Structure 1
């Protein structure tokens, strides 16, 4: 039966307008990733503008990712209940609404609401994009296709800090979102013209208990880690411990329930495929490291070295561009050689760069930061797409929607955890440093405390990267029989 299904899907590839479909999805995904990271370089300005703490400001990023982490797990269900065109249209309309609200938002509360609406739109488009590739692109070309996806999605966060910095310096943060509106409108019109329905609608039963457990699980964990950077008590605060315990318990019950259900919301049987499991772990580690670095480096450059937002964007631009260029190259290497050597080498490079970043001080030069950020992005590109493509390739077609949902859930939740833990570690490190100083209000001491906190973040990231390197050694290429 599986062979028949696969053959039918392969023959259907010839009927799809692959290029227009992918252009529609990539334009939408581009804006989604731009919105996800565009405020990173603006956080320092928003802290002063809204008179909020760093831990509160980072919710503009973590809240966005948390919304994705709550909604993306049920995306496999959406793919089986609604047509491709319906999901695409709903995604773009939500993105347009959220971006419009962010464009006119005068304060933190309304901007936070806008970020949640934006994230709801992206929560539909990202799983749809990766599921579409599995259906309309032959296995032997998926690595290159995922590489192109990576190029487009990485360009957004690459140019985001520079463009955001320029807009903040010359206009206001609202313009970061205002420029996205016409692109989203064009994406909607283009997609409505060319998007085809590629999903098979089966309308499985919706299990409310699973949805509640998923929300409590992912939401509780990210909320706990985000709260660790606020107020007194740090990681031992009841505000951290209680939701963390609730989140972990909810996820355990959720997992057990999914394994026992005939029609699970998220089919965890995908983890029976060893390369899918390894690929998921590698993806999680890569995203956590990248999101933590993309949040810490702008803070270090602006509040530690005294650069303005635009200059900070320029410093981070080369690494982002190199990462984007490397994505299709890594896709080709994956298609030709598999992940066996590419991923471990990338993880080793990431570990070495993080070791150097853990030693940054206020005397570290800008060229050194540019070089370290660039090599970090090269390492990430060697890990991300090859791990994801290899893992998804091992799944049977019946698990495509669930595999895409799992990978995208891991990606978004890992991003939320990465940013939340980074801010928490930085805040604890700053507090610990200042307690040892005579004058805690001295700007020089505050700068040194910030640098010490950021060093602590990269020290923990080294441990995470080493764990990733060990996992990468177990990665093997998935051989898929040629489809005729």
Structure 2
């Protein structure tokens, strides 16, 4: 099942107590490991925060740069796609370069992109800046996860992974709040001025604390594999976007076959390139990713859930802030604040999910928490025709708490069935799915909103608000289905794992 394409040249697990920054025998967590997690985690947090910090500003950006809904969403989508195509390189970078060098590269890319955002005065330059930022975030996020998985004491793994997952799940949710708060008193570019000194402090801390947890090797970079995965992910998102444009044109009664043709061709080419990537990777001596991990149904089911659920978790930031402004008539600050209670409570409880994992195993914390999240999604659907700001805040709070606690443990659970030497590949695969899912979710939800708004009149009119509300209802239907599907995949994965270990689900 496992594709061992090259010698594994690093230590793992309990053998890393001397150079990994943690003593895995007595369960103590060293100060250097804490510093490493804080340095990489803060960089990752800032990178992921900027995924959604701009979503609350979409109406303002549409006016400033004179673009429509389907165009402005590329500020977030192109960022997420870039992260998605950068993360697969993390396994190669882990095998080829020292951790500290990889960390420095992530900081440089992130700071450079933020600097360009500050001085950009065209939509095209914003897109370029977001691509550069995405490269930095795509390097930083799996680096944090690899340090936790490789250097943590086994008895504290759940808690530390919960802390790492807290960064991944909380940053996208708090982004709209930060964006709205800053934009209410300062120009939106001030957001990126504020994060620069924070990234500089992260750099200093990382240089001091990050230690090497193993040796590097002579892993080779396969440009053809990278090209296949990059182009496939980008044009699959394009297919989704153009499909929405085609549907919108049809709804408006326009006879324009161009978007439909582009969507169909993009879908075919994207799937074909993805298949090529899989075939090339399986035959490669030094694959970009060891995708043979997904031959295990337990890992594959976790991975599918990890693709679907972030579509909801990250896309919610765009959806709710857009509905609040364009349908309920709130300003950008209030729109961002609406998701704050659920975000803060989820942030406080996410480490609890890791503790529950260490105490009770994976199935109970994950399935019960995500079931709770599904209740929040169902409430938003039921009241979608009569939403008020406080209802949005309360119902999203229910969803956010369940989502944060449950998602904190999904990747940790999946790694139980992945051999230790393939941990970097596993984290790269799951983080790629996370980011691509977020990109697809943002594109999908914005496309549905855009289709609903087609032909409804100018922004701010009663018909436009009503159309936006209807688009929200369609999205809530889709969200309920997606959360249920993700939950079912995880239930099936736990059932298979339980049969292997001779336990029952809820007793692993």
Conserved 8 A contact 2:172-2:317: no
Measure how far apart 1:451 and its partner are: 0.7
Aligned equivalents of 1:112, 1:427: Cα separation in 2: 20
Distance (whole Å) between structure 1 residues aligned to residue 192 and residue 270 of structure 2? 33
Q: CA deviation at 1:123?
A: 0.9
Q: Which has the higher mean CA deviation after the structures are superposed, 444-453 or 4-13? A: 4-13
Q: CA deviation at 1:360?
A: 4.2
CA shift, 1:128, in A, is 0.8
> 5 Å matches for 1:22-101?
22-101=37-116
What is residue 109 of structure 1 aligned with on the other side?
124
1:119-198 map, 5 Å? 119-198=134-213
Q: Shift of the alpha carbon at 1:94?
A: 0.8
Which residue does the alignment assign to 1:373? 396
Describe how 1:135-284 pairs up with structure 2 within 5 A.
135-230=150-245, 232=249, 237-284=260-307
For the Cα contact (< 8 Å) 1:320–1:374, is it kept in 2? yes
Contact 1:150/1:385 (CA < 8 Å) preserved in 2? yes
Q: 1:142 to 1:459 in 2, by over 3 A?
A: same
Give the deviation of 1:395 after TM superposition: 1.5
- Contact 1:18–1:136 (CA<8 Å) still a contact in 2? yes
Partner residue in 2 for 1:446: 464
Partners of 1:345 and 1:120 in 2: CA distance: 35
- Quote the Cα distance in structure 2 between the aligned partners of 1:306 and 1:6: 53
Residues 70-106 of structure 1: CA distance to partner in whole angstroms, max 9, x if unpaired? 1111221111111101100010011111111111222
Scaled by the length of structure 1, the TM-score of the pair is: 0.92
Q: 1:167 to 1:400 in 2, by over 3 A?
A: same
Mapping for residues 250-399 of structure 1, pairs under 5 Å: 250-361=273-384, 363-399=386-422
1:212-231 per-residue CA deviation (whole Å, 9 max, x = no partner) reads 21112211211211233336
Distance 1:386 1:279, change over 3 A: same
Q: Is the 8 A contact 2:16 2:213 kept in 1?
A: no
Structure 2: give runs of 5+ residues left out of the alignment.
1-6, 24-29, 252-256, 502-508
Q: Check 1:46–1:151 CA distance in 2 against 1; reply closer, same or farther (3 A cut).
A: same
Partners of 1:394 and 1:372 lie apart in 2 by: 35
- The one-character-per-residue Cα deviations of 1:226-256 (angstroms, maximum 9, x if unpaired) are 2333363599711211111111111112112
**CA 1:446–1:359: 2 relative to 1, 3 Å:** farther
Cα shift at 1:362: 6.3
Q: CA deviation at 1:7?
A: 4.1
Contact 2:52/2:173, CA 8 A, preserved across alignment = no
- Give me the whole-angstrom Cα distance separating, in 2, the residues matched to 1:383 and 1:21: 25
Dislocated runs of 4+, deviation >6 Å: 1-4, 439-442, 477-480
Q: Provide the secondary structure at the position in 1 that maps to 2:190.
A: helix
Query: In 2, are the aligned partners of 1:339 and 1:475 still within 8 Å (CA)?
Result: no
Whether 1:474 and 2:474 are equivalent positions in the alignment is no
Return 373-382 or 193-202, whichever deviates more: 193-202
What secondary structure, in the 3-state scheme, does the structure 1 residue paired with 2:409 have? Answer: helix
Of 1-10 and 245-254, the range deviating more from structure 2: 1-10
**In structure 1, how many angstroms separate the alpha carbons of the residues matched to 2:447 and 2:389?**
26
How far residue 48 of structure 1 moved from its aligned partner, in angstroms, is 1.3
RMSD of Structure 2 on Structure 1 (CA): 2.5
Bigger shift: residues 21-30 or 219-228? 219-228
How far residue 144 of structure 1 moved from its aligned partner, in angstroms, is 0.4
* In structure 2, distance between residues paired with 1:203 and 1:393: 28
Distance 1:393 1:467 in 2: 22
How far off is 1:311 after superposition?
A: 1.2
Offset from partner CA, 1:26-82 (integer Å, 9 cap, x none): 121121122111111111111111111011111010010010111111221111111
Question: Is 1:414 aligned with 2:437?
Answer: yes
Distance 1:5 1:340, change over 3 A: closer
Of 352-361 and 229-238, deviating more is 229-238
Per mean C-alpha deviation after superposition, the further-off stretch among 196-205 and 448-457 is 196-205
